[in-house]
Amino acid sequence: MVRTFTYSNPSGLPWVVQKFGGTSVGKFLDKIANEVIKEYVKQNRLVVVCSARSGKDKQTGTTNRLIRAANDALKPGSKEYLDIVAALLEDHLAVAVEMIHDDEIRQELEDDIRSDCDKLKSFLEAAQIINEISPRSKDIIIGVGEKLSCRIVAAVLQDRDVDAQFVSLENIIDRDFEKLDQEFYDYLAKKMAHAVEQCGNKVPVVTGFFGIVPGSLLTSVGRGYTDLCAALTAVGLTAEELQIWKEVDGIFTADPRKVKSARLLPIITPEEASELTYYGSEVIHPFTMEQVIRSHIPIRIKNVENPRGQGTIIFPTDIVSKDGTATPPHSPKVLAENGYSLDLSRKYPTAVTIKDHVIVLNVHSNRKSVSHGFFAKIFSTLDRYGVVVDLISTSEVHVSMALGEDNLDKDLDHVIADLRVVGRVDVIKDLAILSLVGKQMKNMVGIAGMMFSTLASAGVNIEMISQGSSEINISCVIDERSSITAMNVIHDQLLSKRGKLVLPSVKLALE
C-alpha cells in the first residue's frame, strides 16, 4: 500500500541534525515524535540519530546488556547470553506493541526486530563454538542495539504521520584505514551525508553505530559513539546546527541536583564544555566537539522533557577562519546578529563541577634513578594497565596522581606493586576532584586564591592542586564527603552575582 504522510522533510532548507540518547528514546519517544520532530520538521530538514535504548539507567541499557552477552558467550557452556537476547527481543517487541497503532507498520517492525535478534543469537552461538570474539565481532554485537532502537523510532514516526526511513550505517565504510585520523573522519562525514541524502524527502533515522572502524569502535572511540556519528553527519551535510537532546535543560553553572542556585548557561565554549566532560559532568563525547567546531557548526544541548527551552549552545567565541588562522573573538554584537548571546565581559568563572570516586596515588622516588627515568617508569606502568590519570602534580622526587576509582578496579594492587620499583607508594581513597572552569579565568588574577580560601573557610581540606596551562581549569582534590559543601560554597561565592567575588584591581593594571 502506498502511504501518504502529512510530515516530511522540506526540500532546500538547511539541515539540522538531532541526536537522541538512549534514555530519551527509552522514556520519551512519544514526546520526541510529537513535540520535537513534528515541530522542527516544519521549518528544517531533519536527520535523526539515535543510540540504543536504555530503560531506567545506562547500566541496564541495551548496550550494556549486549556487552554482557558477548562476554558470556565466551564462557564455555554458559547459556546466559541466550537469556539476554531473549529479554532484549521481548522488551523491544513490547515497545512495538505499546507504541504502534497501525497494524501493518507494527507487523513489519516486529518481523525486523525478530530477524535482528535471530541473527544476533546465531552470531553469539558461533562465537561460543569457536571460543573467540574479536574486537570487531564485539562491535557488530553492540551495533544491534542502535539498529533495534532506530527501527522502533522510524516506525513510531511513521505511525505518527511522519515520513521516516530507517538508515543503518553498519556498511558505509568500504575502504581500509589504518587509524582514526582526520582523513578517516572526513571520509566518514561524506559517506554519512551520502547515506542521508539517499532518503530524499523522508526523514532519515540513522543508527549511531557506524560500523567497523580501525582498531574497533569500542576501543578507538569508546562508549557514547552516537554523539560522534551525529557530529560527522552534521559536518558532511554542513548542517546549520547539531542538537544533542538529553533529559536536562542544558549545561549549568553547577549540577542543579546538588546546587539549588545553579543557573543554565545560554552559551559555553567547546574548551569549557570539554573540561566539564573530563571532570565528571557528562556533556558529550569529547571527539564530537572537535569535529563540529572545525566546521563552525554550533552544538545545542536541549531537553526532551522541555523542548521549548533555549538549551545551551556550545560555540567558539573566537572563530578560526578557513585558512586556519584565528580571528579575534567575535563581538557580542556579531554573535547577537547571528542569534547568539554571549557576555564576553563575564566576570565570573563559567561552571564548577565535581567528579566523585577518585583516588590519589602518591609515589615518592627512592632516588635510584634520575628524575626523567622516574617519570618514564611511572607513565609506562600506567600505560601498561591502561590507567587514565585525571590530575597530576609533581616535584622532582614525588608524583601525585588523581584518577577515577573505576578505571583501576581489580588492577590496583598490580599497578601499586609495579610502581614500588621506583619508590614508596601510598594510596588515598574516597576523594573527589573539584574543578572550576571558565575561559575568562585567564584574566582573573587572584581567582585561584579566592577558590582555595573559600574552600578553607568552609573547612574543606585540600589534598592536591592542579592548574592546567590553558588556565581555563583550576582543579583540586578534596575529601569525597565534603564534595557537596565544597561545590555549594564555590558556587555561592565565585559563580553567583550575590557572591563575594571581588578580584584585586591589579587585573586592570595588567591589561
Residue 226 binding ligand ASP, by CB under 6 A: yes
C-beta of 21 vs 143, nearer to Mg ion: 21
CB 172 within 8 Å of CB 233: no
Using the rule CB under 6 A, which residue among 138, 140, 143, 145 binds ligand ASP?
A: 145
Residues 53-72 within binding reach of ligand ASP (CB under 6 A): 63
Cell (9 digits) for 209: 553505530
Provide, rounded to whole angstroms, the least separation between the CB of residue 313 and ligand ASP. 21
Cα separation of 255 and 283, whole Å? 12
Cell (9 digits) for 89: 527481543
Residue 26 binding Mg ion, by CB under 5 A: no
**Which of ligand ASP, Mg ion, none lies near 225, with the C-beta cut-off 5 to 8 A by kind?**
ligand ASP
Provide, rounded to whole angstroms, the least separation between the CB of residue 163 and ligand ASP. 26
Query: CB neighbours of 231 closer than 8 A, spacing ≥ 6?
Result: 242, 287, 288, 289, 291, 292, 299
Q: Which long-range contacts (CB under 8 A, 24 or more apart) does 289-296 make?
A: 289/231, 289/314, 291/185, 291/189, 291/228, 291/231, 291/232, 291/235, 292/231, 292/234, 292/235, 292/242, 294/235, 295/234, 295/235, 295/238
CA angle 29–33–36, rounded 5-degree value: 110
Q: What's the DSSP call for residue 470?
A: T
**Which of ligand ASP, Mg ion, none lies near 223, with the C-beta cut-off 5 to 8 A by kind?**
ligand ASP
At what angle are helices 412-419 and 371-384 packed, to 10 degrees? 160
Cα separation of 214 and 167, whole Å? 22
**Residue 206: phi, psi to the nearest 5?**
-100, 135
Using the rule CB under 5 A, which residue among 211, 224, 307, 423 binds Mg ion?
A: 224
**Cell 547459556 found at:** 79
C-beta of 21 vs 438, nearer to ligand ASP: 21
Provide, rounded to whole angstroms, the least separation between the CB of residue 145 and ligand ASP. 6
Provide, rounded to whole angstroms, the least separation between the CB of residue 137 and ligand ASP. 17
C-beta of 208 vs 298, nearer to ligand ASP: 208
Cβ atoms within 10 Å of 313's Cβ, excluding its own: 21
Q: What string marks each residue from 235 to 264 as x (binds ligand ASP by CB under 6 A) or -?
A: ------------------------------
Residue 61 binding Mg ion, by CB under 5 A: no
Residue 205 binding ligand ASP, by CB under 6 A: no
**Which of Mg ion, ligand ASP, none lies near 52, with the C-beta cut-off 5 to 8 A by kind?**
ligand ASP
Spell out a b/e string for 154-174, using b for 16 or more CB atoms within 10 Å of the CB, else e.
bbbbbbbbbbbbbbbbbebbe
C-beta of 66 vs 387, nearer to ligand ASP: 66
Q: What's the DSSP call for residue 33?
A: I
**Which of ligand ASP, Mg ion, none lies near 145, with the C-beta cut-off 5 to 8 A by kind?**
ligand ASP
Residue 51 binding ligand ASP, by CB under 6 A: yes
C-beta of 301 vs 431, nearer to ligand ASP: 301
Provide, rounded to whole angstroms, the least separation between the CB of residue 22 and ligand ASP. 5
Q: What's the DSSP call for residue 293?
A: H
By CB under 6 A, which span of 220-228, 242-250, 304-312, 502-510 interacts with ligand ASP?
Answer: 220-228
Would you tell me which residues interact with ligand ASP (CB under 6 A)?
22, 51-52, 63, 145, 208, 223-227
Would you tell me which residues interact with Mg ion (CB under 5 A)?
21, 224
